[in-house]
Amino acid sequence: MSKNIRNIAIIAHVDHGKTTLVDNLFKQSGTVRENQRVEERAMDSGDLERERGITILAKCTSVMWGDTRINIVDTPGHADFGGEVERILSMVDGVVLLVDAAEGPMPQTKFVTMKALALGLKPIVVVNKVDKPDGDPDAATDAVFDLFVNLDANEYQLDFPILYASGRDGWCDDTLDGPRENLHPLFEKVLEHVPAPKVVTDGNADKPFSMLVSMLDRDNFLGRILTGRIETGRAKVGDAIHALSRDSKVIEVGRISKLLSFRGLERTPVEEAEAGDIVAIAGLQTATVADTIAVPEVKEALHSIPVDPPTLAMTFAVNDSPLAGREGKLVTSRVIRDRLMKEAEGNVAIKITETESKDAFEVAGRGELQLGVLIETMRREGFELAISRPRVLMKMDENCKKLEPYETVQVDVDEAYQGTVVEKMSLRKAELTGMVPSGGGKVRLTFDAPARGLIGYHGEFLTDTRGTGIMNRSYDRYDAYKGPIQGRQRGVLVANASGKAVTYALFNLQERGVIMIEGGDECYEGMIIGEHSRDNDLDVNVQKAKQLTNIRAAGKDEAVKLTTPRKLPLEEALAYINDDELVEVTPESIRLRKRFLLPHERKKAAKAAE
């Protein structure tokens, strides 16, 4: 049976077409009926995934091709969700690497591919979107080969098969001028180049049952659901099992109450599964990712891959603003703590630590997007939070020298803007490592930059390039600390009293800077209502109304017209604030505020910091 199983992961950069390709694999393999209504990008099941058009969580599915079942894992393309990718690669025996014909391999492709090559997996390269007007499939193929060489791929991996495809139109071929009919060549390449699970060939199929947990999920009826690939033996419903930690200590004892196998888009209950298959098991309450589930006679835990450490941290605190508790229902430190601990349980790339105050928690993760997605999810669940500015996590080497995380940054900009981008990046201590023309009057710039300097730069970058620039980042390494980096250039306008903002007051404040609220918005003392045009903070009165008299002059009372306020979305707000500021997040609002609301407290804190 296991000889008729193939386990593959589909890896690619953001927006290169993984999930769309999987949609067409479903249709052409007969997994979904021709008349069955299936939503576009069926694997992106979460609300945030659909809204943002990105994959956040790795998900398993399977299709039948002939008498072979192909288990497919759809992986996130963004480096911030790299923790999802690393742990699922241990479940598969091959990878399909999807590359955009126009863009070629991007920094985040490099990150995931490096992990796959290190495990000895041989990729099947699919050059997608070859029908794009600006596509250059040959250049993309050459760039993939160069990438593999740079990542120390062996000769077996460098002899990779290549397919040319259009995932949206549902075809792929061995050659560029092929018949372009269907995706059958991809299925055939998977059967030809991806080996059956090793456990069949090395005799492990007859050993006692053991499985390494790679993914964690929760079901309202079944409780905790643990997903992984069965390494040895067979699993049956009702079998006694125990969970072992990485150091082979017994964590928990229980029974398999439910055994689920992946069939298309559904998890189907089965009575038995064997070595090599990817399954989900219910019945344990505390076992988590990287633990080993096995029958009681197995005493040794399976080897699990250590996950790269978090590089960025934020403080999640109880919302203590004057407007706290008006819009959210979940506001206490206890429910915030429980929710964060539940998140850390299933997400191996996130670390939670309690602070001394007990009302705040330090949440460390891979990047601003990953933590931003967590905050957005929590606010939709009804939480109110006060979030601090992101900060990078430093390390010390054996000589007690400070180390900080560095990132590889790849930027595609019009030639007219490259000078501005290089200047701004150099101010943030980034070094230019590559510059090549990328066609259409654009230049591709590659930088080696400290992660610290990139916090808050993306919004400025879009302004500098008039919205035409594309920036991609991926974690590279820890290296020597580069010294202080200048932060935000401008100060902010701070409300000096509580109440509703008056349009007349905001109209007169427009000369002072960029306004971020509208007339009628609820404000409080210490709340940030705009950006000052100079580098200092300014306390302003947003409740100042027009003095009414009984004398009128022609033309003096036209309707006051405000310019459109600059409303910052969550990720931009987190990147915008300084260390002495917070983002107040509620289910209905995102507000910026000073950490200390009263002016004399801010002055006292500033003196103490000097």
Q: Could you give all domains of the chain from N- to C-terminal order, each with its CATH number?
A: 2-196 (3.40.50.300), 200-294 (2.40.30.10), 395-480 (3.30.70.240), 492-579+592-609 (2.40.50.250)
Q: Is the pLDDT of residue 529 over 80?
A: yes
Say whether 423 sits in a helix, a strand or coil.
Answer: helix
pLDDT band at residue 438 using 50, 70 and 90 as cut-offs: confident
Q: Is the pLDDT of residue 404 over 60?
A: yes
- Tokens 């090549």 label which residue? 436
Per DSSP, what are the bridge partners of residue 492? 531
The stretch 225-243 carries a mean pLDDT of 89
The stretch 571-589 carries a mean pLDDT of 87
DSSP per-residue codes, 576-588: H--TTEEEEE-SS
Sheet holding 292-294, edge to edge: 250-255, 240-244, 292-294, 210-219, 223-232, 278-282, 258-263, 266-269
pLDDT at site 67: 83
The stretch 165-192 carries a mean pLDDT of 84
Instruction: Give the least confident one: 16-25, 292-301, 348-357.
Output: 16-25
* Residues 302-356: tens digit of each pLDDT: 887 666 678 888 899 999 889 888 888 888 889 998 888 888 776 767 888 888 8
Residue 443 annotated as binding site: no
Cβ contacts of 47 within 8 Å, gap of 6 or more: 380
Residue 560 annotated as binding site: no
Q: Is the pLDDT of residue 78 over 60?
A: no
Which of 197, 376, 189 shows the shortest CA–CA distance to 274? 197
The stretch 35-51 carries a mean pLDDT of 45
The stretch 63-88 carries a mean pLDDT of 72
Structure tokens, 539 = 């306390």
pLDDT at site 203: 55
The stretch 79-105 carries a mean pLDDT of 76
pLDDT at site 1: 46
Q: Is the pLDDT of residue 478 over 80?
A: yes
Per DSSP, what are the bridge partners of residue 515? 530
* Residues 312-326: tens digit of each pLDDT: 888 999 998 898 888
Q: Is the pLDDT of residue 50 over 60?
A: no
Structure tokens, 321 = 């603003």
Residue 348 annotated as binding site: no
Percentage with pLDDT > 90 across the chain:
6
Q: Is the pLDDT of residue 37 over 60?
A: no
pLDDT band at residue 35 using 50, 70 and 90 as cut-offs: very low
pLDDT at site 583: 92
Say whether 114 sits in a helix, a strand or coil.
Answer: helix
Structure tokens, 365 = 């993760």
pLDDT band at residue 584 using 50, 70 and 90 as cut-offs: very high
Residue 420 annotated as binding site: no
Per DSSP, what are the bridge partners of residue 187? none
The stretch 125-148 carries a mean pLDDT of 86
Percentage with pLDDT > 70 across the chain:
86
Range list of β-strands (E), 370-452: 385-387, 391-392, 395-396, 402-414, 431-439, 442-450
Q: Is the pLDDT of residue 193 over 70?
A: yes
Considering the chain, what is the average pLDDT of its residues? 81
Q: Is the pLDDT of residue 198 over 80?
A: no
pLDDT band at residue 84 using 50, 70 and 90 as cut-offs: low
In the chain, the amino acid numbered 50 is R
Higher pLDDT, 15 or 45: 15
Residue 319 annotated as binding site: no
In the chain, the amino acid numbered 273 is A
Residue 217 annotated as binding site: no
pLDDT at site 240: 92
Task: Compute, in degrees rounded to 10, the torsion defined by CA atoms 47, 223, 314, 599.
Answer: 90
Which of 372, 384, 376, 380 shows the shortest CA–CA distance to 322? 384
Distance CA 542, CA 507 (A): 10
- The backbone torsions φ and ψ at residue 76, rounded to the nearest 5 degrees and listed phi first, read -70, 150
Distance CA 376, CA 391 (A): 19
Distance CA 459, CA 576 (A): 9
pLDDT at site 42: 40
Helix (H) or strand (E) run with residue 528 in it? strand 527-532
Residue 292 annotated as binding site: no
Residue 440 annotated as binding site: no
Whether the Cβ atoms of residue 372 and residue 571 lie closer than 8 Å to each other: yes
Instruction: Give the least confident one: 36-50, 234-248, 490-504.
Output: 36-50
Q: Is the pLDDT of residue 609 over 80?
A: no
Instruction: Give the least confident one: 44-48, 384-388, 489-493.
Output: 44-48
Structure tokens, 304 = 């699990």
Instruction: Give the least confident one: 53-67, 151-165, 511-525.
Output: 53-67
Residue 20 annotated as binding site: yes
Q: Is the pLDDT of residue 119 over 50?
A: yes
Q: Is the pLDDT of residue 44 over 50?
A: no
Q: Is the pLDDT of residue 278 over 60?
A: yes
Q: Is the pLDDT of residue 45 over 50?
A: no
Distance CA 53, CA 519 (A): 33
Q: Taking phi first (over 0 means left), then psi (-120 to 50 degrees means alpha), and beta for anything else, what does residue 513 get? A: left
pLDDT band at residue 201 using 50, 70 and 90 as cut-offs: very low
Residue 521 annotated as binding site: no
**What number of helices (H) and strands (E) belong to the chain?**
16, 35
pLDDT band at residue 242 using 50, 70 and 90 as cut-offs: very high
